[in-house]
C-alpha cells in the first residue's frame, strides 16, 4: 500500500515537470520539420554554447530565488568582471592574478548585497537593484566608458576554445550545474536554502544560521555572474563596461519557467535547466527562421507565459 | 426533520493522491444546535469542513442548504449562503489591523467613494468586540503581527461571527485559548445558539464537547461512525468509538527522583517578561501556568536564544551559558517545541523528513554532506514512534492534519535527544489517544533524566503532569506550587495567574 502511494507520488512529480519537457519537445519537433539545420550537431552545440552564459547565471539565481530573494545585480557584475579582466590583461598581469582580481571583485558585490539583505534587513529587490546601478557605474568609471581589447590567448580560449569537440563554455556550464546539483541535494547547506525559503523563523528556531545561509546565496549568484563575465569577455575578446545589460532578466525568466516558486522554498535545478534551454532553443529557432531580433523579444515574452501556464496546469492536474 | 436542518451533506467522499480521506459522509446541522465533531488526528474533520466551505471539492456526494442542493465552488459561495468558518490553522494578514482583518473585503466606504471609512470600520469592530465581551483583550486598531495566537484566535472568532451566518464552523477554536478566554467563547456560542445559528464544533477536549454540544458525531478513518445525542453519550463511549478501543484515562505518574539542577534562569528580562527566575532539575517536569499574554512563551523563546534577552543569566549544569542563537541552545541540549507550529514550528511547503532533519542534521551529516539513508531511517523511525499518520515521510508537512503537524514538531525536537525540552502547548490540537501517548512519552523521558518544561493553558493537564508549577502573569513569576502530590487546586493557580492583571 505504502509503495503504491509513493509510486503515485513519483508519477505526479514527473508529471509536474512533464509540462515543461513537453514544451521543449514540441519546439524541437516543429523546428526539425521546418529547418534542416536545426537538429545538426553543429547547431545543437551552437545552442548549448549560446545558453551557457544564461545557464550559469540561472543556476546562481536558482539559489537566491529558492530563499525567496532575487538578484538584479548579476548583469552589472558581469560587466565589472569583464572590465577588470580586460584592464589587467592589457597591463600584462598573469592569468591567475587577473582571474583572482576580477572574480574577487565580483564576489565583493555578492558580499555587499548579502550583508545589506541578511544583516541590515533590506529587501533583496532593493539591495540588488542598488548593487546593479553601483556595479554598472563602477564599470563605466573604471574603464572610462571604453572597452578593453583582450589579446591574451589562454584567456580568450575560455570563451572560444574547445575540448574534445565541445566548446569550453559548455564544459564550464556543465561543471557548474553538476556542483550546484550536488550542493542542493547532498549538502546540509542545500537543505538550509530550501528550509530558509520555506520558513525562515522556523529555520532559525531549529538552530540554522539563517543569516549566513541567505548571504551565501548572493555570493554564489555573484560567483556565477563572474564566470559568465569571464566567458563573455573571452568570447568577444574585449572587456566591455556595457556588457551583460538585462542578463538578470533572462536568468530570472529561466528560473521562473523552471517552476521555482518566487516566494521560495520550492523548486528544482532540473526545472531551471529546462528553463534556460527552452529560452535558448527559442532564440535559436527564431534566428534560423530569420525573425528580426525585435520580434524575438515579443515572442519570448509570450513563450514564457505559455510555458509557465502549461506548467501550472500540469501541476494542478497532478494534485 | 429535513426542515429543521440548515445544512446537510449526503454521501460526501474525497480522496487525495488516491488515498481515501472521506467515505460517503452524511452529516447535518440543525438550527440553534451545537453539533460537535470528534475524531482522531487525520480522521477527516477539517477536510469535511473545508468541503462545506468550498476550499476542497468532494469527489462524490452533495450538500443541501435549507433543503435545497447547492454547489459550493469557492469560499465566497459558502459565505453568501451564510456559512462561515474559523479555521484550525489561522490565516491573518500580519500587516493589517484587527479591524481590517475582520472586515477584509467588506470594508465600509465613505459615501460611495472607493475610500475605506476607517472610523466606521473600527467602530463596527469595537461594537462586535463589546457585544461578545472581548474588548478588554483586543482592540480594533491592534496590528495582527503584535498579537498572540490566542488573540488572533479571538479575532477569527469575531470575524466568523461578523458575517451573521446561519452556520458557523469552529475548527478547534479553543486549542490556544486559556480557561477564561474559553469561557468567553462559550458565552458567545450560547448567544449564537439562542439566535438560531447552527454551530459545528470540532475539538479534542472531551469536557468542552460535553459542556456545549447538543449532538456529537464521531469520524473514524474518514467514515462517520455515529451521531448521538449528548444526553445519551458518555465519555468512554465516545473515546471507544473514536479510537476503536478503550483507553485508560488519567495521567501517568512521573516516578523519577529529581536530580541535579540542569537549567537555571536568574532574573531574565526581555520583551514581555521581567525578572524571571526558575530552576529545573533532571527528571523533573516543570509546568508554567498563566493566562494568554503572561509572558511564558516569550521567556522560553529568549532562553533558547530565539529572541533577545535584555538582562539576566542562564546556567546549564551549574555553568554560565551564553545562548545567543537557537544553535547555541541546541549544542547545550535545550530545544523548544513552539506552540506556533505554522510560523515557528514547521516549514509547511517541505516534506516531513526535511522538517525533522533540519534540526538534527548533525546526526547524519559529515563535513556538510548528508547521509540520505541514515536521514531517512532516523526520521522515519521517530515519525513512527510519534505515530504520525502519514503515507510516508515524503508527505508535505502542510498537507498533514493539524494534530499530525504537531506530532512532527515534537518528533523533530525529540530526535535531538535534548537534556532540557521546552514544550509550549505540546498537546495543542492532539487527539485523546495521541495525548495519552505524549504524556506517557514525557514521563518516560523524565524518568530517563530529561528536564521538561511544559507551558500549558489546560489546567487539568498542567496539574496532572507537572511536579512543580510556576504561575506567571504580566511577564513575572507570581507563585510557585509544589505539585508532587498532584493536589494543587485550579483556583489557587488561577488566583496567582491573575495577580497584577487589572
Ligand atoms: N491537501 C491535502 N493533500 C493531501 N492530503 C491531505 C490534504 N489535506 C488533508 N489531507 C489528509 O487527509 C487526512 C485528513 O485530514 P484532516 O485535516 O481532515 O484531519 P482532521 O480530522 O482535521 O485531524 P486533526 O484533528 O489533526 O485536525 C489526513 O491524513 C491528511 O494528511
Ligand atoms: Mg483538523
- Inside any domain, residue A32: no
User: SS3 letters for B199-226?
Assistant: EEEECCCHHHHHHHCCEEEEEECCEEEE
How many angstroms away from the CA of A259 is the closest CA of chain B?
14
pTM exceeds 0.90 for this model: no
- List the domain boundaries for chain B: 5-92+147-243, 248-333+418-502, 346-417
CA distances from B304 to B271, B309, B334 (A): 14, 10, 7
Residue B406 alpha carbon to ligand 1 centre in Å? 13
Closest CA to A84 of A27, A142, A153, A25: A142
C-alpha cell at B371: 547521509
A17 pLDDT tier (thresholds 50, 70, 90):
low
How many angstroms away from the CA of B359 is the closest CA of chain A?
5
Percent residues over pLDDT 90 in chain B: 56
**B377, pLDDT greater than 80:** yes
Residue B351 alpha carbon to ligand 2 centre in Å? 18
Chain A residues with beta carbon closer than 8 angstroms to that of B393: none
What CATH number corresponds to the domain at position A234?
A: 1.10.3470
Cβ of B39 closer than 6 Å to ligand 1, yes or no, is yes
Taking the Cβ of residue A203 and every Cβ of chain B, the question of whether any pair is shorter than 8 Å is answered with: yes
B330 pLDDT tier (thresholds 50, 70, 90):
very high
Which pLDDT belongs to residue B1?
45
The residue range of the domain holding A199 is 38-318
Residue B389 alpha carbon to ligand 1 centre in Å? 9
With contact defined as beta carbons under 8 Å apart, do B65 and B166 qualify?
A: no
C-alpha cell at B88: 484550525
B57 pLDDT tier (thresholds 50, 70, 90):
very high
DSSP conformation class of B56: S
- Inside any domain, residue A27: no
Taking the Cβ of residue B484 and every Cβ of chain A, the question of whether any pair is shorter than 8 Å is answered with: no
Task: Determine how β-strand B215-220 pairs with β-strand B369-370.
Answer: unpaired
For the stretch A270-300, pLDDT in tens is: 999 999 999 999 889 988 888 888 888 888 7
Angstrom distance (rounded) from CA A30 to CA B296 = 65
Question: Is B5-92+147-243 a CATH 1.10.240.10 domain?
Answer: no
Taking the Cβ of residue A5 and every Cβ of chain B, the question of whether any pair is shorter than 8 Å is answered with: yes
The reply to whether B5-92+147-243 and B248-333+418-502 are identical in fold is: yes
How many angstroms away from the CA of A180 is the closest CA of chain B?
13
A188: nearest CB among B301, B370, B392: B370
- Inside any domain, residue A30: no
- Inside any domain, residue A176: yes
Q: State the closest ligand 1 atom to the C-alpha of B403, by its place in the atom list counted from 1.
A: 26
Taking the Cβ of residue A318 and every Cβ of chain B, the question of whether any pair is shorter than 8 Å is answered with: no
B317 pLDDT tier (thresholds 50, 70, 90):
very high
- Inside any domain, residue A230: yes
β-partners of residue A162 are A167
Cβ of B41 closer than 6 Å to ligand 1, yes or no, is yes
A318 pLDDT tier (thresholds 50, 70, 90):
very low
B292 pLDDT tier (thresholds 50, 70, 90):
confident
Angstrom distance (rounded) from CA A37 to CA A35 = 6
Ligand number with the minimum distance to the CA of B44: 1
Residue B167 φ/ψ, nearest 5 degrees: -130, 130
For the stretch A18-61, pLDDT in tens is: 777 888 898 899 999 998 889 899 999 999 999 999 999 999 99
For the stretch B132-159, pLDDT in tens is: 888 888 889 888 888 877 788 888 888 8
- Inside any domain, residue A280: yes
For the stretch A149-189, pLDDT in tens is: 999 999 999 999 999 999 999 999 999 999 999 999 999 99
Chain A residues with beta carbon closer than 8 angstroms to that of B20: none
* Mutation site for A-interface testing, chosen from B15, B16, B17, B329 by largest number of A Cβ within 10 Å: B17
**A314, pLDDT greater than 70:** no
For the stretch A77-136, pLDDT in tens is: 999 999 999 999 999 999 999 999 999 999 999 999 999 999 999 999 999 999 999 999
B248-333+418-502 CATH fold: Rossmann fold (3.40.50)
**A267, pLDDT greater than 60:** yes
Looking at the 3D structure of chain A, how many domains does it have?
Answer: 1
- Inside any domain, residue A8: no
Closest CA to B418 of B287, B306, B304: B304
Amino acid at each position: 500500500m505504502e509503495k503504491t502511494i509513493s509510486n503515485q507520488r513519483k508519477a505526479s512529480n514527473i508529471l509536474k515537470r512533464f509540462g515543461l519537457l513537453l514544451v521543449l519537445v514540441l519546439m524541437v519537433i516543429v523546428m526539425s520539420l521546418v529547418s534542416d539545420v536545426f537538429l545538426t550537431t553543429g547547431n545543437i552545440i551552437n545552442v548549448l554554447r549560446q545558453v551557457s552564459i544564461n545557464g550559469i547565471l540561472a543556476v546562481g539565481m536558482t539559489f537566491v530565488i529558492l530563499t525567496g530573494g532575487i538578484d538584479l545585480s548579476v548583469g552589472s557584475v558581469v560587466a565589472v568582471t569583464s572590465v577588470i579582466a580586460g584592464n589587467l590583461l592589457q597591463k600584462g598581469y598573469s592569468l591567475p592574478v587577473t582571474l583572482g582580481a576580477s572574480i574577487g571583485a565580483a564576489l565583493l558585490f555578492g558580499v555587499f548585497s548579502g550583508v545589506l539583505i541578511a544583516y541590515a534587513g533590506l529587501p533583496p529587490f532593493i539591495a540588488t537593484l542598488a548593487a546593479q546601478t553601483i556595479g554598472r557605474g563602477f564599470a563605466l568609471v573604471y574603464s572610462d566608458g571604453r572597452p578593453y581589447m583582450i589579446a591574451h590567448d589562454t584567456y580568450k580560449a575560455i570563451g572560444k576554445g574547445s575540448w574534445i569537440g565541445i566548446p569550453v563554455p559548455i564544459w564550464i556550464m556543465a561543471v557548474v550545474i553538476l556542483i550546484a546539483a550536488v550542493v542542493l541535494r547532498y549538502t546540509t547547506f542545500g537543505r538550509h536554502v530550501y528550509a530558509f525559503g520555506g520558513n525562515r523563523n522556523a529555520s532559525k528556531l531549529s538552530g540554522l544560521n539563517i543569516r549566513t545561509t541567505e548571504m551565501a546565496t548572493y555570493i554564489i549568484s555573484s560567483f556565477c555572474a563572474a564566470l559568465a563575465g569571464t566567458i563573455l569577455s573571452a568570447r568577444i575578446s574585449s572587456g566591455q563596461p556595457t556588457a551583460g545589460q538585462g542578463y538578470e532578466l533572462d536568468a530570472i525568466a529561466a528560473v521562473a519557467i523552471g517552476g521555482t516558486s518566487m516566494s521560495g522554498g520550492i523548486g528544482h535545478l532540473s526545472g531551471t535547466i529546462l528553463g534556460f534551454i527552452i529560452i535558448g532553443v527559442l532564440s535559436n529557432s527564431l534566428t534560423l527562421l530569420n525573425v528580426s531580433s525585435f520580434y524575438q523579444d515579443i515572442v519570448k515574452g509570450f513563450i514564457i507565459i505559455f510555458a509557465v501556464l502549461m506548467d501550472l496546469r500540469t501541476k494542478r492536474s497532478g494534485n | 426533520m429535513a426542515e429543521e436542518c440548515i445544512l446537510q451533506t449526503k454521501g460526501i467522499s474525497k480522496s487525495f493522491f488516491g488515498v481515501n480521506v472521506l467515505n460517503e459522509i452524511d452529516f447535518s446541522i440543525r438550527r440553534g444546535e451545537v453539533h460537535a465533531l470528534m475524531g482522531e488526528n487525520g480522521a477527516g474533520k477539517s477536510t469535511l469542513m473545508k468541503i462545506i466551505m468550498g476550499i476542497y471539492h468532494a469527489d462524490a456526494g452533495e450538500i443541501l442548504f435549507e433543503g435545497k442542493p447547492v454547489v459550493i465552488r469557492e469560499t465566497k459561495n459558502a459565505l453568501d449562503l451564510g456559512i462561515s468558518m474559523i479555521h484550525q490553522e489561522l490565516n491573518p494578514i500580519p500587516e493589517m489591523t484587527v479591524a481590517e482583518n475582520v472586515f477584509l473585503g467588506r470594508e465600509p466606504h465613505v459615501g460611495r467613494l472607493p475610500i475605506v471609512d476607517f472610523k466606521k470600520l473600527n467602530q463596527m469592530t469595537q461594537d462586535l468586540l463589546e457585544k461578545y465581551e472581548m474588548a478588554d483583550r483586543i482592540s480594533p486598531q491592534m496590528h495582527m503581527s503584535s498579537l498572540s495566537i490566542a488573540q488572533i484566535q479571538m479575532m477569527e472568532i469575531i470575524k466568523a461571527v461578523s458575517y451573521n451566518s446561519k452556520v458557523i464552523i469552529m475548527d478547534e477554536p479553543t486549542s490556544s485559548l486559556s480557561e477564561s478566554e474559553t469561557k468567553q467563547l462559550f458565552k458567545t456560542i450560547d448567544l449564537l445558539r439562542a439566535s438560531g445559528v447552527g454551530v459545528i464544533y470540532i475539538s479534542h477536549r472531551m469536557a468542552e464537547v460535553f459542556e456545549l454540544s447538543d449532538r456529537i458525531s464521531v469520524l473514524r478513518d474518514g467514515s462517520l461512525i455515529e451521531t448521538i445525542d449528548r444526553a445519551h453519550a458518555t465519555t468512554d463511549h465516545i473515546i471507544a468509538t473514536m479510537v476503536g478501543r478503550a483507553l485508560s484515562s488519567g495521567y501517568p505518574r512521573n516516578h523519577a527522583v529529581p536530580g541535579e539542577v540542569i537549567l537555571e534562569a536568574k532574573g531574565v528580562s526581555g520583551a514581555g517578561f521581567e525578572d524571571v527566575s526558575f530552576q529545573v532539575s533532571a527528571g523533573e517536569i516543570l509546568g508554567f501556568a498563566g493566562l494568554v499574554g503572561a509572558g511564558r512563551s516569550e521567556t522560553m523563546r529568549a532562553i533558547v536564544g530565539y529572541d533577545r534577552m535584555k538582562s539576566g543569566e542562564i546556567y546549564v549544569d551549574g555553568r554560565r551559558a551564553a545562548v545567543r542563537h537557537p544553535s547555541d541552545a541546541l549544542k547545550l541540549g535545550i530545544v523548544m517545541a513552539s506552540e506556533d507550529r505554522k510560523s515557528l514550528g514547521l516549514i509547511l511547503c517541505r516534506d516531513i523528513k526535511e522538517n525533522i532533519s533540519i534540526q538534527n542534521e548533525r546526526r547524519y551529516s559529515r563535513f556538510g554532506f548528508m547521509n540520505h539513508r541514515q536521514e531517512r531511517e532516523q526520521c522515519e523511525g521517530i515519525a513512527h514512534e510519534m505515530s504520525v499518520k502519514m503515507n510516508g515521510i515524503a508527505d508535505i508537512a502542510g498537507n498533514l492534519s493539524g494534530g499530525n503537524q504537531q506530532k512532527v514538531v515534537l518528533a523533530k525536537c525529540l530526535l535531538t535527544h535534548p537534556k532540557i525540552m521546552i514544550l509550549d502547548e505540546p498537546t495543542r490540537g492532539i487527539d485523546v489517544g495521541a495525548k495519552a501517548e505524549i504524556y506517557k512519552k514525557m514521563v518516560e523521558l523524565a524518568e530517563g533524566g530529561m528536564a521538561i518544561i511544559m507551558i500549558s493553558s489546560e489546567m487539568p493537564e498542567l496539574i496532572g503532569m507537572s511536579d512543580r508549577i510556576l504561575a506567571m502573569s504580566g511577564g513575572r513569576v507570581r507563585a510557585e506550587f509544589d505539585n508532587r502530590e498532584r493536589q494543587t487546586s485550579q483556583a489557587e493557580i488561577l488566583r496567582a495567574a491573575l495577580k497584577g492583571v487589572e
